A and B are shown apart, each in its own frame.
Chain A
Amino acid sequence: MAKSWQIVLAGEGGQGLILAGRILSEAAIMDGNNVSLTSSYGIAARGGYSEAQVVISEQEVYYPKCASPDLVLALTQQAYDRYAENVSDDCLIIYDSKDVSNTKGKNEAGFDFKEALLTLGNLKVINSLFLGVILKNRDIVSRESMIESLKKNLPPKIQDINLKAFSYGLDQ
């Protein structure tokens, strides 16, 4: 069976989930994979539930959605509740330990994103931070490709702080 990943990034609008999905997807393409990235969000231009689903495979991706996620990032309780009951036991859930309180406590890891952001001194780099945390837990893409993708997708002015946030997540 060829290697494949199904990753869900869920939270709310403004957390850079879709951009993070793009960065992860482009890194996976650099690694030579096929990728399918879908997103869903409400009709409001800002805020509300938001998620990106990334399917990465060495083979052609038939079903572009995450039928059985391997990893779910849940930044809000709503996002956590949406997946916690439905994913398989093999699926790792990384949740925001400040925003998500009701957890099932199995194959999951809480992370205090807000505290990390305060340490980093920038609240806008949450997506680079959680990409680091994700990569720390699962080798979905190579670190080199991820760094290259981060650089490609972010304006030069904010690259340094985002790379710092990514490394910070990776070191946890």
Chain B
Amino acid sequence: MSRPKGVQLMEGNHACAWGAIDAGARFYAGYPITPSSEIAEVCARELPGYGGTYIQMEDEIGSMAAIVGASLSGKKSFTATSGPGFSLMQENLGVGIYQEAPCVLVDIQRVGPATGLATQPAQADVMQARWGTHGDHPIIALSPASVQEMYYLTIRAFNLAERFRSPVILLGDQVVGQTYENIALPDPDSLEIMDRKKPIVPPEEYLPYQYDEEDLVPPMAAYGDKHILHASSTCHCETGYSNFKYGTNRQLLTRLKNKIYNYIDEIIDVEYFGPEDADVTLISFGSSSRVCKYAVGLAEKEGIKVNLLRLISIWPFPDREVQQALARTGAAVVAEMNQGQLIGEVNRVNTTNTPVHLASGIDGELIRPEIIMTSIREAVK
């Protein structure tokens, strides 16, 4: 099948796969799991036509490992999973973060814990995306709310991965993954695609983890280059080899954090929806934020002025944007399909002591507008 063109009906997971291909992904390793498997299916069908490779690994542990490996061999690589599979990927996600292997992990969230409801949506991996792998580390996570955004945010996820030399998580859910919507696929040549920085020094001078001062990111050789790349999951210095000297760990962890947090404005992406000033500000992300937009209209009919701050990038958390929104509103409602994960972050930056309410959708379906409306009414009481 050739690449679809123009306006058409497409499933979110398919849009994600095409976004990856258009971003330059040429390696996919995964293990089938509902509700993400369509991403694997498109990759299996399409990647060979692009000279790429699809491999179905024996489990999600191996899948995450394989995409980190392929990344260091110079390929843009990715995997997609859900629920239990996301848990299994956590250890090697940490390896990717530590070795600074650009790659993309798509998590199409479903209801958990454990097997939960395999075909139903949730947004309960917010904290797992942030802190799922052990140890102190930064992470970038984006949250698409539509099929069109599944396409564009997948491209953005690859671009950020390449720019920051870091794994990036695309935190979707069953609704955005398996809903079909009209989408307009652009000409791939019109897209802005980023590629990792290659070394400019001669091979004998190359130190794989010697970073540039301007962005704290080390230029990246690929396996097979004459620039020797040594990537380690053990504490390492600029040579890439293990190093246990006092100070090395602090230096490495600080740089890994700063290379992202010092350039946070290149990552943060939010949408403001509804009237500028409102009685209640909804704060949400992903598929829940669509229901919030719907609720803005419902509230208007009830005479309540409501707006929405939609987080398109959720990690690093947009402290400043949320803080400003809280300062400007009478009350806030955080709408999420879990028992309260993002709301903890909202409260963390709530320096104005604005009342913050939770609209929690944990019924194994897209959060109903009525749940959000109940919280809005509560907030204006």
What is A's interface to B at a CB cutoff of 8 Å? 21-22, 25-26, 29, 33-41, 43, 61-65, 67
Give bound CA distance, A108 to B180, whole Å.
28
Note all chain A residues with C-beta closer than 8 A to B369: 63, 67
**Given contacts A29-B182, A37-B179, A37-B181, A22 and B9 within 8 Å (CB-CB):** yes
Q: Which of A34, A35, A39 contacts B178 (CB 8 A)?
A: A39
Give Cα distance in the complex from A39 to B291, angstroms. Answer: 17
Contact, CB under 8 Å: A64 / B366: yes
Number of A-B contacts (CB under 8 A): 55
Q: Which residues of B contact A38 (CB under 8 A)?
A: 175, 178-180
The answer to whether the Cβ of B294 comes within 8 Å of any Cβ in the partner chain is yes
A-B contact pairs, 9 of them (CB 8 A): A22-B180, A25-B9, A29-B9, A36-B179, A38-B175, A40-B119, A43-B119, A61-B181, A63-B290
- Is A36 touching B181 in the complex (CB atoms < 8 A)? yes
Q: Is B8 an interface residue (CB 8 A)?
A: yes
Determine whether the beta carbon of A43 is less than 8 Å from that of B118: yes
Say what secondary structure dominates the interface of chain A: mixed
Complex Cα–Cα for A37 and B11 (A): 9
Q: How many residues of B contact A (CB 8 A)?
A: 19
Shortest distance from the beta carbon of A161 to any chain B beta carbon, whole Å: 24
Interface status of B127 (Cβ within 8 A of chain A)? no
Contacts of A37 in B (CB 8 A): 9, 179-181
Decide: B175 and A64 in contact? CB cutoff 8 A. Answer: yes
- Selected contact of B291 from candidates A25, A34, A63, CB within 8 Å: A63
Q: Mark B153-194, 1 if CB is under 8 A from A, else 0.
A: 000000000000000000000010011111000000000000
B106-142: which residues lie under 8 A (CB-CB) from chain A?
118-119
Q: Which has the most chain B C-beta neighbours within 10 Å: A25, A26, A41, A63?
A: A63
Known: A26-B9, A67-B369. A34 touches B294 (CB 8 A): no
B179 & A64 in contact (Cβ 8 Å cutoff): yes
Given contacts A25-B9, A26-B9, A38-B175, contact A62 B291 (CB under 8 A): yes
Once the chains bind, are B8 and A36 in contact (CB under 8 Å)? no
Write out the residue numbers on chain A whose beta carbons fall within 8 Å of the beta carbon of B294.
62-63, 67
- CB <8 Å contact, B118 and A35: no
Q: Is the CB of B293 closer than 8 A to any CB of chain A?
A: yes
Bound CA–CA A33/B7 (angstroms): 11
| Chain B residues in 8 Å Cβ range of A26 | 8-9
Least CB distance from A29 to B in Å reads: 5
Q: What is the minimal beta-carbon distance from B170 to any residue of chain A, in angstroms? A: 19
Closest Cβ of chain B to A60, distance in Å, is 8
A64 lies within 8 A of B118 (CB): no
- With a cutoff of 8 Å between Cβ atoms, the chain A residues found around residue B291 in the complex are 62-63
Q: In the complex, how many angstroms separate the beta carbon of B366 from the nearest chain A beta carbon?
A: 6
Q: Establish whether residues B181 and A34, one from each chain, have CB atoms under 8 Å apart when the complex forms.
A: yes
- A25–B182 Cα distance when bound, in Å, is 9
The reply to whether A35 and B182 form a contact with Cβ atoms under 8 Å apart is yes
Looking at the complex, which one of B119, B175, B180, B293 makes contact with A35 (CB distance below 8 Å)? Answer: B180
Check B119 against A29 for contact (C-beta < 8 Å): no
Give Cα A41 to B294, complex, Å: 25
Give every chain B residue within 8 A of A41 (Cβ-Cβ): 119
Q: Ordered nearest first, which 5 A-B pairs have the shortest CB separation?
A: A37-B180, A63-B294, A62-B294, A62-B293, A29-B182
> For residue A40, which residues in chain B have a CB less than 8 angstroms away from its CB?
119
Chain B residue contacts of A29, Cβ below 8 A: 7-9, 182
A67: chain B residues at CB < 8 Å are 294, 369
Chain A residue at minimum C-beta to C-beta distance from B291: A63
User: For the complex, what is the distance from the CA of A39 to the CA of B11, rounded to whole Å?
Assistant: 11
Interface mask (B1-38 → A, CB under 8 Å = 1, otherwise 0):
00000011100000000000000000000000000000
Q: A21, A35, A40, A62 — which one has the most chain B CB atoms within 10 A of its CB?
A: A62
Residues of A within 8 A of B119 (CB): 40-41, 43
